[in-house]
Amino acid sequence: MIDKNQTCASGQDSIPYMTCLIHILEEWFGVEQLEDYLNFANHLLWVFTPLILLILPYFTIFLLYLTIIFLHIYKRKNVLKEAYSHNLWDGARKTVATLWDGHAAVWHGYEVHGMEKIPKEGPALIIFYHGAIPIDFYYFMAKIFIHKGRTCRVVADHFVFKIPGFSLLLDVFCALHGPREKCVEILRSGHLLAISPGGVREALFSDETYNIVWGNRKGFAQVAIDAKVVSCVKLIIQLKLS
């Protein structure tokens, strides 16, 4: 322990800054041996950090199913309005987008630079990297809906449509599994379309350096040519893992 007559002044007999800070906190909170408590808390952090990293992917899946449950409740409450409204799902989309955008900001410090380049009207083709769980793209879709009021269609793998409970989620957020002609039709109709050329192979075999795994997949370029979508939009997406 530190003698109360000692000070934190610099000099030959000065006390290390952290030791002095701990002493001040002990007097402030009226506790003794605060350093032992801090060491114990640090030990717990090292023990539970791997567990948190292990749980994180499952937490994302939990959020997806929570979103699906909300959509089912929303559908049941608004089933009588469906015949009178062309935008039945806009309220649900905005609610879900707001929740996911909040999660992105708090949990990951997620940021998108260049959002102003996404057009408020007209077609645009967005090409993105496919992570093991493309949560950064989920956040991106939420931001597009919040800031642009637009739904971004996305090409998903066939197996996603077979996951139990996902059919409503995919339908509400306008996911499709191709083919190329359908993608061209969507762009010609003036919608936003997102494609990940690497797909599931990139999700499974890429690594933490985010190397793209596209192989010879160039169909997205042909889609842009056929739909006459020639403008190029550069987006910088930052996902800060906390």
Q: 113 by DSSP, 3-state: which?
A: strand
Strand (E) or helix (H) holding 192:
strand 192-195
User: Based on the structure, what is the number of domains in the chain?
Assistant: 2
Q: Which residues, 6+ apart, have CB-to-CB distance to 115 below 8 Å?
A: 143, 144, 147, 148, 235
pLDDT value at position 212? Answer: 77
Q: Which domain holds residue 82?
A: 31-86
pLDDT value at position 89? Answer: 79
Residues 120 and 179 in one domain: yes
Residues 97 and 185 in one domain: yes
Q: Per-residue pLDDT averaged across 186-203, rounded?
A: 87
The mean predicted confidence, pLDDT, of the chain is 76
Segments of 114-186 assigned E as strands: 124-127, 152-155, 175-176
- Does 242 map to a domain? no
CA distances from 169 to 86, 96, 174 (A): 18, 11, 8
Residues with a catalytic annotation lie at 130
Is pLDDT at 153 greater than 90 in this prediction? yes
C-alpha torsion angle, residues 197, 199, 205, 209 (rounded to 10): 60
Spacing of C-alpha 120 from chain mean position: 22
pLDDT value at position 47? Answer: 65
End of a domain among 64, 86, 108?
86
Residues 100 and 49 in one domain: no
What pLDDT digit, counting tens, does each position of 30-89 carry? 656 666 666 666 666 666 666 666 677 777 888 888 888 888 888 777 655 554 455 677
pTM above 0.85, yes or no: no
Strand (E) or helix (H) holding 238:
strand 236-238
